[in-house]
Structure 1
């Protein structure tokens, strides 16, 4: 597996908790989008580990083209 799989054509709305650590899927193969489930094992992909800065709803990238991972930057509509 060397190609990124788009997990959707728009952002994924998630509720995150401040100071919690999350693993964002970068390969698009996870069955638990937008979070990593280890489906990238054996490839060059690695999960993107991040901490939420504040509680609340956030929009994470599903197209895997964002320049601001893990957050959607609208790349899916370009």
Structure 2
């Protein structure tokens, strides 16, 4: 059975992204390289979420790990 994700922070992570690149969002909340996966999910039953960027720009990745719009922030952190 998978462990529950833990909030890395109760705010989103602003990130500059590049078209064509795949980013691996930390689902577990344990990565020291937030909001990206560093392998800290090992033995949690959780896996990172890959997201392929379609255009250069800026995004807000979820930091609380409770969003309904993974991997992006939907404001859920305000309710925690």
Band of TM-score, shorter chain: over 0.9
- In 2, Cα distance between the equivalents of 1:19 and 1:3? 31
Which digits, 9 at most, give the CA deviation of each residue in 1:6-57, with x for residues without a partner?
1111110000001101110000000000000000111210000111122111
RMSD: 1.2
TM-aligned CA deviation for residue 61 of structure 1:
0.1
| TM-score (structure 2 length as normaliser) | 0.91
Segments of structure 1 that go 5 or more residues without pairing to the other structure are none
- Return structure 1 stretches of 4+ with deviation > 3 angstroms: none
Match of 2:29 in 1: 28
- In 2, Cα distance between the equivalents of 1:37 and 1:43? 13
Segments of structure 2 that go 5 or more residues without pairing to the other structure are none
Please list, as runs of the form range in 1=range in 2, the aligned pairs for 1:1-78 lying within 5 A after superposition: 2-78=3-79
TM-aligned CA deviation for residue 3 of structure 1:
2.6
| TM-score (structure 1 length as normaliser) | 0.93
Alignment length (residue pairs): 78
